[in-house]
Structure 1
Amino acid sequence: MTRWVAGVDGCPGGWIAALRRLGEAGPVVVRVVPDLAALCDGPEAPAVAAVDIPIGLPERVGAGGRTAEQLVRPLLGPRRASVFPTSARAVVYAPDYTAAIALARTGGLQPFAPSPPANAIFPRIRAVDALLRRQSDLRERVYEVHPELAFASLNGGVPLAAPKRAPAGAAQRRAALRRAGLPEEVVEAAPPRGAARDDLLDALVALVVAQGLAAGRGLSYPDPPERDAHGLPVAIWTLPPTEARS
């Protein structure tokens, strides 16, 4: 039975997944799937999946978010704003944005209101949270990553200067993916329907991290990972810069 590793990022069509056979330097398969459950239960179910989504929700949280976010943010220089603080579980599960803001302000759960971009991914966070709580075996296979941290690791620990949607930023990210050993044809490919070009690049860098995790070369913030009230790991994973550049 073929085993896979996957890098996964949210996209307008659902989730974009970049998959490769475990332990091989072969082609990369890219597809858009409706949800993470469809990927984890499908014929290409990954042994390791690196996903750009918060995993593990705090019951209460401070201004800087989870420990993972507080540790990663200073490493990213001009890209630090891309690491937003994850809200408390009750806020993430609020029925709508108005209720989430009200709960954040009055419930004593956190000292900040969720931003519109954070609120936009609450449904994805809830879906992944529910999946990992329901299928406990996935907790050791699905890892949280952050693309900007992963790209910094591929750049020797130095965050990329240009934003990812700028032409220069996209070029920097493609160059980093080539150095990491991904095939030219997938690095330069147009994204599949339902995904944007930056979604593809983020999924590909998550795949690079997934390959390292499968080989036992992962680095977590914090180390060791924390656990939330439901036993889900709470950490952002990447590769050590020396490993990422090899």
Structure 2
Amino acid sequence: MRTDDPIERAIDCLWKRYSEPLSLTEIAESALLSRFYFSRLFKDATGVTPGRFLAAVRVHQAKHLLLHTPLRIADVSTAVGYSSLGSFTNYFTSSVGVSPGRYRHIARGGGFDLPGPRPGPRAGCGAIAGTLDLPAGHGNAHVYVGAFRTPIVQYPPSAAVLVRVPVGRPGAYRLPDVPEGTWHVHAVGVAEGVWPDPWHQRTSLVGSCDAVAVAAERTAPAGVRLRRERPADPPVLLALPALEPLPPPAAGPRPALLAAAAD
């Protein structure tokens, strides 16, 4: 973390003090900036407001606690800064796509279906299509790509698909039945390492293409280049546990989602 960058100082503050009832003034003070100038600068750098970023950090940390600790859900809620269990449960569910208890159960079991769009009428739709490019130095990757309303990867996507991207060349994707409007195309993937031990070197990757305009009966182009996460990237909230780096097979079963996708 670079201490000379005001936005990175603020993001560092959010990750360290997410359990506290932080105000915008306190976050701006961590960046050594005025509140109003800081708010504009922060949104330009991250795509979201400081409050939205803090809320995303809290949900991200809650996912980690649910998956890696025996804490009760009420205790997880308190640990990530919520005073109301109901508010925590509602926000977690709307952002992740499943309730905290359901997330813990199915993530630990490895049996996770791809998060899809909410059911509903699909009139006046177009499509988004393009290529997915991997950074150099990585092997084959499994990439979840979807169309979202916000700069945060959260439930629900309008359309989504899982793509296997081979090393050395782009992977193609197509998202059908995307309603007219402007969308953020987000990609979340996990890439294998290169010889001699690819499973031990798996790396999380992200990528996005903002402001994709979709018109009815047309296909909008949107190429996405994946990269390693940066401090200014809001956390991924959508339930995609099988796309997180995990121990090698000897330490446990391979996640069902990735095993099926590799067939």
**TM-score normalised over the length of structure 2:** 0.26
Which has a greater percent of strand?
Answer: 2
Larger helix proportion of the pair? 1
Q: Which has the larger radius of gyration?
A: 2
* Higher RCO (CA < 8 A, seq sep 6+): 1
